[in-house]
Amino acid sequence: MASTLLTAAGLGFFPAVMALCASTDLLTMTIPNRLCGILVLGYFLLAPAFQTPGEVILLNLSCGVTILAITFVMFALGWIGGGDAKLAAATALWMGWSLVLDFGTTAAVCGGFLTLGILAARMTPLPAILERRAWIARLHDRKSGVPYGIALAAAGMAQYPHSHIWAAAAA
């Protein structure tokens, strides 16, 4: 029973934190550093708990660090936000090299649809009742960015069932 509860809690941890990242990005256009830190810490606590081999943990760490370096450059060039860069790297830690390309592709597709949807919505006037909601007005503002953390979270959750940690926990 305790093992089943640990497995359920462990498997639910990543999607819960990703949903929180997506919702905070939607509502505030920021992804708090503490959420990315919780994802990283959670991986290093849960991977050994589910007997993920040490070499897999180290390979996934190298993937996360590499993605952090790449996304830091993208942030420095003004292409993405800092929270998006950290969330992509933290998610890459969970995905590892075997899934990082699928994660990136899925994030790009989800992000494309998200961006097109927001751009289309911005072309129509916002009803007055919705203008009173700060997060909706900010999302509708043409000068505002796109909460790409939503796409990163969706992509991470889509790839999560294929991850080493999921397989180790389900075994």
- The region of weakest confidence among 41-50, 60-69, 151-160 is 41-50
Q: Which domain holds residue 139?
A: 2-170
| Range 20-24 average pLDDT | 97
* pLDDT of res. 160: 96
| 154/136 Cα distance (integer angstroms) | 20
Q: Is the pLDDT of residue 53 over 70?
A: yes
Tens-place pLDDT, residues 6-21: 677 778 999 999 999 9
* pLDDT of res. 170: 77
Average pLDDT, the chain: 93
- 164 vs 103, higher pLDDT: 103
Count of domains in the chain?
1
- 14 vs 165, higher pLDDT: 14
Tell me the pLDDT band of 132, cut-offs 50, 70 and 90.
Answer: confident
* pLDDT of res. 133: 87
Tens-place pLDDT, residues 60-114: 999 999 999 999 999 999 999 999 999 999 999 999 999 999 999 999 999 999 9
* pLDDT of res. 158: 97
| 41/44 Cα distance (integer angstroms) | 5
| 122/114 Cα distance (integer angstroms) | 12
* pLDDT of res. 131: 83
| CA-angle at 91, arms to 108 and 142, nearest 5° | 45
Where helices occur in the chain by DSSP H, the ranges are 2-28, 33-49, 54-76, 82-95, 97-122, 128-131, 134-140, 149-159, 164-170
| CA-angle at 116, arms to 94 and 109, nearest 5° | 30
Q: Is the pLDDT of residue 128 over 60?
A: yes
Percent above pLDDT 70 for the chain: 98
